[in-house]
């Protein structure tokens, strides 16, 4: 399975990016996780949605080619960072490449609540008609106090979180497989 990871932070030392890279390594034998950058996307503009710049075309093509999308969301001011909303706006228009594509969500913050509000908003957005992405039920991953759980080398050193991620990954793969079996049965 090929999963595209969209990370909603553009800072070099992003904990959410480090968490994604940790997942990339730890579950390399379960799926291929490609981090698809959204930092160079221009602001969405309806005037150019049918003739977008190359960065948008390439971004959409990578998402279209993926079997599923992992959204790694920081929390800004109690919601989804604008950079991630911007990426979703592009994906929701013209060829609407998220329709029917399975998604799951994780997120990390330095606060204790671990992006709970941002994830609630993101769930709503992904279900919205323009995006229409089937979402892994439950299995909500809120990594709070992330600065105490990731070491200088980018390793997730908080064992309960690692074990929880192991179970969520298992659940995601089982859900993804059953989802596809259900779709195939209707064809
Ligand atoms: C934050 N941060 C933050 N944290 C949180 O738990 N809830 C929030 O609403 C916010 N709001 C917020 C707004 C802005 C503009 C910034 C820059 C930061 C803190 C945030 O969790 C922290 O900076 C994380 O480290 C951001 O994620 P990355 O960049 O490390 O992936």
What is residue 65's predicted lDDT score, i.e. its pLDDT? 98
Angle between helix 82-91 and helix 116-127 axes, rounded to 10 deg: 10
What's the CATH architecture for 2-185?
A: 3-Layer(aba) Sandwich (3.40)
Residue with CA closest to ligand 1 atom 10: 76
What is residue 179's predicted lDDT score, i.e. its pLDDT? 82
User: Can you list the residues of the chain whose pLDDT is less than 50?
Assistant: none
Burial classification of residue 146, based on how many CB atoms lie within 10 Å of its CB (0-12 exposed, 13-18 middle, 19 or more buried): buried
Ligand 1: residues whose CB is within 6 Å? Answer: 9, 11, 14-16, 74-78, 109-111, 113
What is residue 10's predicted lDDT score, i.e. its pLDDT? 97
Q: Looking at the CA of residue 115, tell me the nearest atom of ligand 1.
A: 6
Q: Looking at the CA of residue 16, tell me the nearest atom of ligand 1.
A: 31
What is residue 182's predicted lDDT score, i.e. its pLDDT? 80
What is residue 185's predicted lDDT score, i.e. its pLDDT? 81
């Amino acid at each position: 399975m090929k999963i595209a990871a969209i990370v909603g932070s553009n800072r070099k030392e992003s904990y959410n990016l480090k968490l994604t890279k940790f997942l990339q390594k730890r579950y390399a034998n379960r799926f291929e996780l490609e981090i698809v950058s959204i930092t160079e996307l221009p602001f969405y503009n309806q005037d150019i949605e049918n003739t977008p710049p190359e960065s948008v075309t390439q971004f959409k093509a990578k998402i279209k080619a993926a079997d599923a999308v992992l959204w790694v969301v920081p929390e800004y001011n109690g919601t989804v960072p604008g950079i991630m909303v911007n990426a979703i706006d592009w994906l929701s228009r013209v060829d609407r490449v998220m329709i029917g594509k399975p998604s799951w969500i994780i997120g990390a913050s330095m606060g204790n609540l671990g992006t709970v509000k941002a994830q609630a908003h993101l769930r709503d957005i992904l279900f919205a008609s323009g995006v229409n992405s089937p979402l892994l039920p439950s299995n909500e991953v809120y990594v709070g106090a992330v600065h105490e759980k990731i070491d200088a080398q980018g390793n997730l050193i908080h064992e309960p979180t690692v074990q929880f991620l192991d179970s969520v990954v298992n659940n995601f793969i089982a859900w993804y497989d059953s989802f596809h079996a259900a779709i195939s049965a209707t064809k």
